């Protein structure tokens, strides 16, 4: 039987979770592992990662394609063009409750959507315990990284424990 190469599931899952967040009035955030292929303001990158608010209120001309996430957002009051290869997205989740999905950390060097692994997916859930799985390269999504500025004040997250990653098998 012929085995034809398939496209990555990552862009489809990201679009589905983005739609789920917006349908439920939640704020979708994406965590991105930054390298030379990612176009973001470098002054907001911390430990090689940046968390971006990709809600309708925080972005202009948002395009969630198969290869890239593209939009314009304000950082420190200045409009910036953002381009993120899908292979560099490590998580998408709702800011208010932490529910979403994380992906394995991309390996060093550039990755494109066709070489992105689609195994080892985890969900983000507010359980307070971080995953430590060095074999899969997974880690908790940091919540203290700078984010894009929303055009309107978003609702405050509920108090309590911070979201943590949980492996889904």
pLDDT in tens, the chain (169 residues): 567 788 889 999 999 999 999 999 999 999 999 999 999 999 999 999 999 999 999 999 999 999 999 999 999 899 999 999 999 999 999 999 999 999 998 876 544 433 333 333 333 433 333 333 333 333 344 444 445 554 444 455 555 556 666 667 6
pLDDT at 111: 40
In the numeric block, the tokens 């074999």 are attached to 135
The token pair at 50 is: 């940046």
SS3 48: coil
pLDDT at 164: 63
Domain ranges of the chain: 10-151
By the 8 A CB rule, do 41 and 29 touch? no
Q: Which residues pair with 79 in a beta bridge?
A: 74
pLDDT at 54: 96
CA–CA distance from 65 to each of 32, 103, 114, 131, 151 (Å)?
16, 17, 13, 29, 23
CATH of 10-151, one of 2.30.30.220, 3.30.70.580, 1.10.3720.10, 3.40.50.720: 2.30.30.220
CB-based burial of residue 124 (10 Å sphere; 0-12 exposed, 13-18 middle, 19+ buried)? buried
Q: Give the other-Cβ count within 10 Å of 67's Cβ.
A: 15
SS3 152: coil
């Amino acid at each position: 039987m012929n085995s034809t190469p398939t496209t990555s599931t990552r862009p489809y899952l990201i679009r589905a979770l983005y739609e789920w967040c917006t349908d439920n009035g939640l704020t979708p955030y994406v965590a991105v592992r930054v390298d030379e292929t990612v176009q973001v303001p470098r002054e907001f990158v911390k430990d090689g990662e940046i968390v971006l608010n990709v809600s309708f209120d925080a972005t202009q001309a948002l395009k969630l394609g198969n290869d890239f996430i593209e939009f314009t957002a304000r950082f420190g009051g200045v409009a910036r063009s953002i381009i993120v290869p899908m292979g560099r997205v490590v998580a998408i989740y709702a800011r208010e409750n932490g529910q979403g999905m994380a992906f394995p950390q991309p390996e060093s060097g550039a990755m494109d959507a066709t070489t992105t692994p689609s195994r080892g997916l985890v969900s983000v859930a507010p359980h307070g315990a971080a995953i430590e799985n060095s074999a899969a390269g997974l880690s908790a999504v940091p919540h203290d990284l700078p984010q894009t500025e929303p055009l309107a004040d978003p609702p405050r997250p509920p108090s309590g424990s911070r979201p943590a990653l949980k492996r889904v098998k």
